[in-house]
Amino acid sequence: MTRLALLIATAGYAGHFPVAPGTMGSVVGLLLFFLVRLSGSGWLEAAAILGLFAAGTWAAGVAEHHYGRRDPGAVVVDEVMGMLVTLAFLPVSWPGALVGFLAFRLTDIVKPWPARAMESLPGGLGVMADDAMAAVYAHLLVRAACWALPAWMVAA
């Protein structure tokens, strides 16, 4: 079970990328977003977010024990889920998705309140919850950009 948890926590070992593993996790999340969006199902989009949050909470907790520290850098399932939350249910074009990627990276790094405080939640829940909150802020930024620049941000 530890191998499965590490596979999930590192997003297929993308978290072991030597430079900016969190950014690599966000790239995996962006690719997953496009795959899920191809289905055209809002239910699948919601299920992917909830499933990743649940599986990521478990896997990140196991990974913390395995690596011997809180929120190890190799754990990037939180970034994958964060990208899905950032772009959830928004009719974005590929430039809009790129704006979402940048907005999520910014909010994930800055971690505005209460995201930073959520890091102190126990185990994998703290790993996942802080990025979920950062993604909510990024989602609001992308939603505002879609409203302000619909011709550029919204898919036709």
So what's the pLDDT on residue 156? 67
CA distance 46 to 118: 22
Q: 71: number of CA atoms within 13 Å, CB side?
A: 16
Structure-token match 């990025």, residue found = 131
Global pTM reads: 0.93
Q: What is the mean pLDDT of residues 47-69?
A: 95
CA distance 118 to 97: 26
pLDDT tens per residue, range 1-54: 889 999 999 999 898 899 999 999 999 999 999 999 999 999 999 999 999 999
pLDDT tens per residue, range 82-120: 999 999 999 998 999 999 999 999 999 999 999 899 988
Residues sharing a CB contact under 8 Å with residue 49, sequence separation 6 or more, in sequence order: 81, 84, 85, 88
